[in-house]
Amino acid sequence: MTRTEPSGADRRAGRAIPVPPGQLFPGLEERTRNGLEALLPLIEKTFPIPARFRRALGKDVAELSRLLTSARGERSLSYLNRPPLLSAYLYYFLPWNLYRLCRLLPGLDLPLAPGDTIIDLGSGPLSFPIGLWLCRRDLRSIPLNFRCLDRSKGALEAGKKLFAASGGPSCPWTITTIHCDITQGVSRPGQTRGAALVTALNLYNELSFSPGDDSGQRRFAHNQAAFLTGLATGDGRFLVIEPGTPPSSRFITLLREALIKLDRPPLSPCTHCLPCPFPAVRSSAARRDAKWCHFAFDTEDAPASLHRLSTAAGIPKERATLSFLLAGPRHSPAEQQSRTVRVISSPFPVGGGAEGRSQGRYVCGEQGMALLRGEEPLITAADPGTLLTVTFTGEQDPKSGAPVVTHAGP
């Protein structure tokens, strides 16, 4: 799929805005931003909360956040079957997940054709189909068949209702929800086979176990790689998106390793098929200051109403983070991209520049992590996830030990 700079006609007509090659997390296209802005009122209309419970929404959001992070051991597998927590998820976590998807999906190559099947594992309230509808207008006219699986029947029903309200009666997509335990009932014949795309959004961090059980995680990742491969067609792709935390990054790296062994190499964000170079994922006993593979971007263009709800819950979001992997078969031999790297950090000041204006970014490529250094306007212009061609200077960053590179072109 060739992508070039958007034209004014594209924007005025509401067509999908092409993304420059190699760029991830582009800014929201205007129509996508408008769709996100309209989402919270649509949620409020579709799932109204009585006034006496509305006052507790911020508290319920904070409690669900606690159960999803620091108090994960207290969370039951069917937590979304509890009405206050489901409301908190629909009003807060679903919009933020959709925002992340709308920043990521336009930059991914998803070659879907009419009649293709997408299997969405752990779909919850249909986050992936709704996000895809919001930001990939190029796919809106294509008949697609979604098989959305989750253990929470209430979340699936809520998502189907919300998608019907947002997609409208002319939507050519078919949504089938399957209520099941994903670890047991996902492979029922005739329902979940032969997918062109298999997706899992924030699924594996809920299924994971002790971070210290490295061998158990490795076995789990390899089992899941075989499981995912069994759900897809021979040229199917896999998209796994997780929170941008060290444990999630660790799992995605193990899954990446297992998929490579099954001839399903990484297509994004990785620029190579060699072992992941990040020390934080080589061992579960990583140093506190170790790096891990994740992406962070500011949320200035997120809906103002969502920011207000975040503030009310005491968890304001100035930045969003995620770790992800898009994998699938390569249709031609992988090219050597030894000088191609992907930007993986925000800018930060480093020494050695004229008048103290030198900036740095961490980047990742075939040689591992490197420090991209240069003058401020050039270094800060690249968005997180952008692919760049670099030149190695022969220097080494004294702080991280990474080789120093300079920008050599797009």
Q: What is the dihedral of CA 361, 363, 367, 370, to 10 degrees?
A: 10
Q: What is the dihedral of CA 142, 197, 89, 385, to 10 degrees?
A: -100
Q: What does the domain layout of the chain look like in residue ranges?
A: 22-327, 340-409
User: 291 pLDDT band (50/70/90 cuts)?
Assistant: confident
Q: Which residue has the tokens 């909360």?
A: 49
The answer to whether domain 22-327 has CATH 3.40.50.150 is yes
Instruction: Decide if pLDDT at 336 tops 70.
Output: no
Q: Give the model confidence (pLDDT) of 2-61 as tens digits.
A: 233 333 333 223 333 344 556 788 778 889 989 998 988 899 899 988 877 788 888 888
User: 288 pLDDT band (50/70/90 cuts)?
Assistant: low
Identify the residue with better confidence: 171 or 407: 171
Contacts with 403 (C-beta within 8 Å, 6 or more apart), sequence order? 367, 370, 371, 392, 393, 394, 395, 396, 397
Q: How far apart are CA 155 and CA 355, in angstroms?
A: 55
Instruction: Decide if pLDDT at 260 tops 90.
Output: yes
Report CA torsion sign: 305, 308, 313, 318. Answer: positive
Instruction: Kindly state the average pLDDT of the residues 69-88.
Output: 74
Q: How far apart are CA 136 and CA 284, in angstroms?
A: 37
Identify the residue with better confidence: 207 or 250: 250
Q: Which pTM was predicted?
A: 0.84
User: 81 pLDDT band (50/70/90 cuts)?
Assistant: confident
User: 226 pLDDT band (50/70/90 cuts)?
Assistant: very high
Per cent of the chain over pLDDT 70 is: 81
Per-residue pLDDT, 404: 92
